[in-house]
Amino acid sequence: MKKATRIAAMAAAMTLAAAIAFPAVTMTASAETTTITIDNVGTVAHEFEVYQIMTGKKTSTDKVFTELKWGTGISKYNGTTVTPGADVPNDVLDALSASGFNARTLVTGAAPLLTLSSTKKDVSGPNTITIDDLEEGYYVIKDVTNLSSSDDANSAWIIQVAGPTTISIKKAKPTVDKEVFDNADGSAAAGWGEAADHAINEPFQFKLTATIPEDADLAAYDTYQLIFHDTLSTGVTFDSIDSVTVNGTPVAASAYSTTAAAAVKEWTLTIEDVKAIAGSAFGASEVKVEVIYKAHLNESAVVSDTDETNKVVNNNKVKLEYSNNPDSLGTGGTDETGETPEDSVWVFTYGIDNTKYRVNTDPGNELDGAKFTLHKDTEDGAVVGVTWNADLNAYVTNGTTSGDMTSGQGNAGTGKFDIVGLDAGTYYLVEDSAPAGYNVAAPVKITITATHTENSSESGADLTLSKTGDNNKIVDTKNSTLPDTGGMGTKLFIAGGGLTAALAGIYIVSKKRSEEAEA
């Protein structure tokens, strides 16, 4: 990719200007060899090509160059062949001075003034490199390290006066971070972090953040490309891009491209030119590029039932591909790019087991056909939507409010109706109706409390999980058998009353006949 202007070695331009303003007359000059030292190379070895573009004699008094001649590393000036060792004409010196010894103007770009020859000095190494036995003069130093897919960047080409002097190369590169949003659930406050818990089919957000450091040498890039490579685990499904911003300002959809889709587990989001979007802030201050997207856990998500250490569960990763050679001559898809290490986040989800019984929990008393709903926070709170999943042999949260469950569903004779895919929080399991001949049981309170953090090695997450109301054994009692109307007790009562009335009638009739006979 064609890269833009960085003024490298302003001291060189100033020295050259002085040489032009004060040509050699009676000054004494030296012709000694000298060195250039390159530091800040880093632990990864870099390769440099060193081209001699001009030689000269530096005065011992005011340290300016005289008798400037073409070096061995130059083949042409402005398209015209030059001869190494020949004097550099005054009009050429004027043009070179006017360029400010800008490497982009002199040796790179579409129409460079200087064409480099094949004569060069190769040096390489990590950390600090010393280039010895250099004639005094001006040199082009090219970082030609192949850093494709490495988390490293090339230095911009430099025009440097031979010293002895030390130059600290600049290799500004970005970092990337992935976070997941966790809602407030009684275990922790809402916020972004490296781990979260959510219900299956509940939408939540991921955030990808690329941070480009403050570094004036980033001005060497004409354009600066970023590509987010995001990977979702089997248990996570992509929903939609919510926002793309640079330093908090929304980026138009036309300024980026993405391969993200619901069926895609590995997708990219590409911004071809972050520098154009960031404007004057690019290089002058830290630039943050942020992508927020929505996703959800699906039925393939791993369900956690116990404390776990270093658990790789529903993990999701991102790495960042970025422009890493300010002097690359490619464009678009042929950019030379580096890659950051992957950064991961972790998403947990939980379940509860339930069994319905008649009379007591003895084996053989399992009871099918009882109807239940699960409520959030209170006994009459919002119903948690669930759907029977035959593959999981359980009810799975579905993100809706339709949540009827039946004991023994898919497990005839067992009374079981397990629930998977729950977020941390408080729930109430309510029996809405019992099978004929039984009474409904009291609601069961369920609490799921969890803390989850990425471990120190960033290779997994640690989970501390506490559940009450798990492995529930819910007992229905039989209906009461108190006598009702028409029962034996009532019949006896009526029969006894009839006998008393008959005896009273016989007594009255007998008494009346006795009185009539006496008369």
- Give 20-36 pLDDT, tens digit per residue: 333 333 333 345 688 99
In CATH terms, the superfamily for domain 351-476 is Immunoglobulins (2.60.40.10)
- Cα–Cα distances (Å) from 165 to 28, 39, 144, in that order, read 22, 11, 21
The span from the CA of 359 to the CA of 379, in Å, is 24
Q: What one-character DSSP code corresponds to residue 213?
A: P
- Cα–Cα distances (Å) from 306 to 51, 233, 290, 395, 424, in that order, read 65, 21, 34, 19, 13
pLDDT in tens, 438-448: 999 999 999 99
- Cα–Cα distances (Å) from 262 to 217, 242, 295, 344, in that order, read 40, 14, 9, 20
Lowest model confidence (mean pLDDT) among 53-62, 294-303, 472-481, 488-497:
488-497
Strand partners, 244: 291
Would you state the structure tokens that stand for residue 264, as one six-digit string? 């895609």
pLDDT exceeds cutoff 70 at 86: yes
Maximal CA-CA distance, the chain:
185
- Cα–Cα distances (Å) from 365 to 352, 356, 399, 438, in that order, read 21, 9, 33, 13
- Cα–Cα distances (Å) from 216 to 139, 212, 329, in that order, read 22, 12, 21
Question: Hey, how many other C-beta atoms are within 10 angstroms of the C-beta on 74?
Answer: 25
pLDDT in tens, 194-244: 999 999 999 999 999 999 999 988 888 889 999 999 999 999 999 999 999
Fold category of 10-168 in CATH: Immunoglobulin-like (2.60.40)
pLDDT in tens, 259-282: 999 999 999 999 999 999 999 999
The span from the CA of 331 to the CA of 1, in Å, is 4
pLDDT exceeds cutoff 90 at 84: yes
Q: Confidence band (pLDDT; 50, 70, 90) for 13?
A: very low
The span from the CA of 379 to the CA of 402, in Å, is 16
pTM of the model: 0.80
Q: Confidence band (pLDDT; 50, 70, 90) for 514?
A: low
Look-up of token digits 């600090």: 128
Would you state the structure tokens that stand for residue 454, as one six-digit string? 């990425």
The span from the CA of 503 to the CA of 497, in Å, is 10
The class level of CATH for 175-345 reads mainly beta
Question: Can you give the residue ranges of every domain in the chain?
Answer: 10-168, 175-345, 351-476, 484-519
